[in-house]
Amino acid sequence: MTSTALRIDTLLEARWIIPVDPPHTTLIDHAIAIQDGKIIAILPTVEALSQFSPEQHFVLNHHLIIPGLINTHTHAAMTLMRGMADDLPLMDWLKNCIWPVEKQWVDTDFVLAGTTLACAEMLKGGITCFNDMYFFPEKAVEAAAQTGMRAAIGLISIEFPTAYATDANDYLAKGLMLREQYLEYPTLSFCLAPHAPYTVSDSTLSNIFTFANQLDLPIHMHLHETSEEIASSLHDFGIRPIERLQKLNLLGPNLIGVHMVHLTNEEINLLKLHNCNVVHCPSSNMKLASGIAPIVDLVNASINVAIGTDGAASNNRLDMFEEMRLTSLLGKVTHGAQALSAHQVLRMATLNGAITLGIEALTGSLSVGKAADITAIDFSGLELSPCFNPLSHLIYVASREHVSHVWVNGQLLLNEGELVTLNEAEIIERTQYWQNRITSKQ
């Protein structure tokens, strides 16, 4: 370090850095310089040490640094329902288990406690941003802000009344007011979030299309998840859900179709034609026996595919390492060993998620000018030895337990595996309170 070295907030040295963009790039013995929450340089460590004088200096000699993982679909508050109703197909799970529990228990306290629990779990697993869909979204905002995570807050719409809102118009009005309140908050963005074709009417979807166009908002929606959903649409509307959305003008680059398990070739072509986005949730799709989404076909059609965990009530983990591994392996089972490479899958879990949410200028890859949303994985353990290819190891060997550090917007949120902004013991105690309360009424 020279006397003329530039003072900066943070310098991260790492054995490997995979920036995601440009593709197929692994930087060895490089460092990332961070100032005011942004990446200002990525350069060889020797040069960094001579150019910068950091306030905080992290030497990660056995670590891989990647962009923070983006969980592009979840219901964070439902983490309080983890393990409550297992081994059931989707509609049975929803109608006979989840919806009755939600009707009885979901309120502002429930959503804050569940979302905070989810944020803690996601941070410890290297997730820096999540795309949420749930009731009382103001409490998801509170939890994300308290934690320091980046979040895309879903402004949910559904036709039936809940403790949160009375009807579809009330859901929309409350959601849009919340967005106005936090429009300038640096780590928050918003999505319109109609729940699913079978729970949202044509008139509500038309309103959502209007607001999405006026406000340039993504539309985050469960779509083509089960064969039952498609059969119901054919019965009620005479057409499949994607065709229904097409008639309502909802197919477009702001559409985030979650699950997309059951697709015809014509529907894949429609998604490509309209530049729609798809979120793949492999664990949830398998656990609820919804099926295996045709992800390789979507990727081959140049459709933007991101990855999500879904909620912990149906997964039952908010674990993007598991989702990345399953995404690649399921692709190989259906299309051969060369399908869905490690790089493609990491991009799905990072930059593709940012593109889906419309925040790719801020996050999703490691480059100068972007926010310092960064995850470090410790490769020093025997279970990761030897390491011939760190990217391959990331997808096929490493797990969330190997995450050591997480930064969001340059703020350290996980240090040597320990949460910085959250009290883990307090979160567990609050979770136990809710478990006891729910159990006592069953």
What does the alpha-carbon distance between residue 71 and residue 115 come to, in Å, rounded to a whole number?
14
Q: In what order do the strands lie in the sheet with 403-408?
A: 38-44, 27-35, 6-17, 52-67, 374-378, 403-408, 411-415, 418-419
Per-residue pLDDT reduced to its tens digit, 85-134: 899 888 898 889 988 989 999 999 999 999 999 999 999 999 999 999 99
Same domain, yes or no, for 312 and 403? no
- Say if 428 falls within a structural domain: no
Please tell me the pTM assigned to this model.
0.97
pLDDT of 4: 85
Radius of gyration over every alpha carbon of the chain, rounded to an integer in angstroms: 21
Q: How far apart are CA 237 and CA 202, in angstroms?
A: 10
Examine the fold and report which residue of 320, 337, 357 is the final residue of a domain before the chain moves on: 357
- Is the residue at 167 inside a domain? yes
* Residue in 425, 439, 431 with CA at minimum distance from that of residue 109: 431
Has residue 300 been placed in a domain? yes
Residues 280 and 339 in one domain: yes
User: Are residues 125 and 108 located together in one domain of the fold?
Assistant: yes
Residues 164 and 180 reside in one and the same domain: yes
Examine residue 86 and state whether it is found in any structural domain, yes or no.
yes
Question: Which CATH number is 104's domain given?
Answer: 3.20.20.140
Residue 1, pLDDT score: 55
Which class for 359: exposed (0-12), middle (13-18), buried (19 or more C-beta within 10 A)? buried
List, for the chain, all residue ranges whose pLDDT scores fall below the cut of 70. 1-3, 442
- CATH number of the domain where residue 62 is located: 2.30.40.10
Tally of domains in the chain: 2
Note the pLDDT of residue 409. 98
Is the same domain home to 193 and 164? yes
- Give yes or no: residues 26 and 135 share one domain: no
Is 364 within the bounds of a domain? no
**426 domain-assigned:** no
Q: Are residues 341 and 402 in the same domain?
A: no
Asked if residue 197 and residue 240 are part of one domain, the reply reads yes
The reported pLDDT for the residue numbered 441 is: 72
Residue 230 is assigned to a structural domain of this protein: yes
User: In this predicted structure, what is the pLDDT of residue 147?
Assistant: 97
Cα–Cα distance measured from residue 119 to residue 125, given in angstroms and rounded to the nearest whole number: 10
Same domain for 400 and 258: no
Within this chain, do residues 300 and 388 fall inside the same structural domain, yes or no?
A: no
CA distance 104 to 441: 10
DSSP 8-class letter at 371: B
- Which domain does 92 fall in, by range? 69-357
CA distance 177 to 367: 34
* Domain-embedded: residue 235: yes
* Distance (Å) of CA 131 to CA 99, 217, 358, 372, 400: 21, 13, 11, 19, 19
394 & 310 share domain: no
| pLDDT computed for residue 440 by the predictor | 83
* Residues 301, 206 share a domain: yes
pLDDT at residue number 2: 56
